[in-house]
Amino acid sequence: MRIVHVANFYGPNSGGIKTTLHELGRGYIEYGHEFIYIVPGVNFVEEITPFGRKITLPGVTLPQSGGYRIIRDNFELKKLLTRLAPDRLEVSDRFTLTSLGQWAKEKGIPCVVFSHETLRGLVDRYLPFLPSMAKRRIVNWHNRKLAGSFDYVVATTEFASKEFISLQIHNLIKISLGVDLTTFHPSHRSEELRQELLKGEQVLIVHCGRMSREKEPQRSIEVLEILLRKGIRARLVYVGTGPLWHKLRKRAEGLPVEFLGYIADRHRVAKILASADISMAPGPLETFCLAALESLASGTPVVASQSSAVGEFLRFENQHPAGAVSSDNRFSFAHSIQHLLKRPKLREVAREVAETMPWNVTVRNMLMLHGALEVQPDLPPLKNHSHLRVA
């Protein structure tokens, strides 16, 4: 089977989308399928990678996005897809690639779209001046249009599913993403690296992720200030980049904060995550947050926003959760960190949670959706133009 995945917001410094494409491609190939992924870039480039055939199309850089691109010409994209003749099509961009769903239907190609964002949350954040009724109409109109354009809408968490469930969308299915349990492992904890990053302090906090407005990266600095006032000798390390990079560096002047920038070497990132005491995930709109799951796989507990999806896999409702969820303010996050620092054997719990979410489960579920593996009772096969109700 030839599976083609089209994704925007993929680039040299991107995180979650890139990881998802690579892990799906690697998994599909292991099952004997062909995988092609189409992403935006500067020029047309075609290359063979360990994750499948990668085709880069000329893209447009989005203003104030930190370099993110979208494919410039969807007409040329569709001509390319016609030549590739995929058996199945996957799409990762609910905003500019919606027309691919109708194109696929006309060609008789089963097609799914990943809903990586919460539109409800984005509208609330970026259009706060609109009346609630207007915002609700925008979100509902777009989500109905999205669901009507594709055979299935794939959501990765219950949080990401909510805005579709409220509309009784019948072609919605939840398939969780996974984590590389080998690259991210507690055994990669390095005392030498830990001391290098601590620079004489005692508690190492890491913030791994994109520095953009919706992810609230400044909250980690605000939390650090409270911990310092409470006498906790903590140091904060940022891994990643984004449009708020310079603003955050200025905000952190005079504080024990280090900015490592984007690190392409995933093994280096894994060592940093494993060597930390706490991993921060303050983004209130996260529909999954792979960095948080990679932290858990590394044995590092996570403190996350209670309004995001991260709490679903922290198991915070259990007697022994793998971290904590906090209200969207610095005081709540600081309190959670203080509490976690007192809990014994938390690293073991974090790893145990991550081990329930390997990438091979995600790959198998996607292949069952594509009709390429035997179907479980609660996962019907993907069919042309079908809108089956999924339990």
Q: Count Cβ neighbours within 10 Å for each residue of 10-37 and write b for 16 or more, e otherwise.
A: bbebbbbbbbbbbbbbbbbbeeebbbbb
The predicted pLDDT at position 386 comes to: 34
Asked if pLDDT for residue 9 goes beyond 90, the answer is no
Asked if pLDDT for residue 130 goes beyond 70, the answer is yes
CA distance 3 to 104: 13
Cα angle: 379, vertex 382, 384; to 5 degrees? 155
Residue-averaged pLDDT of the chain: 92
Hey, what domains does the chain have and what are their CATH numbers?
Answer: 2-178+358-369 (3.40.50.2000), 186-354 (3.40.50.2000)
Give mean pLDDT, residues 232-257. 96
CA proximity to 190, closest of 96, 269, 283: 269
The predicted pLDDT at position 61 comes to: 87
CA distance 118 to 135: 13
CA distance 271 to 188: 5
pTM for this predicted structure:
0.91
CB 35 within 8 A of CB 53: yes
**pLDDT tens-digit map of 219-233:** 999 999 999 999 999
Determine the residue type at 248.
Answer: L
CA distance 115 to 145: 13
Asked if pLDDT for residue 381 goes beyond 70, the answer is no
The span from the first CA to the last CA of the chain, in angstroms, equals 26
CA distance 365 to 361: 6
Asked if pLDDT for residue 158 goes beyond 90, the answer is yes
The predicted pLDDT at position 385 comes to: 32
Give mean pLDDT, residues 173-188. 97
Q: Give the residue ranges of DSSP H helices in 166-240.
A: 191-198, 218-229
The predicted pLDDT at position 67 comes to: 72
Label residue 375 by pLDDT band (50, 70, 90).
low
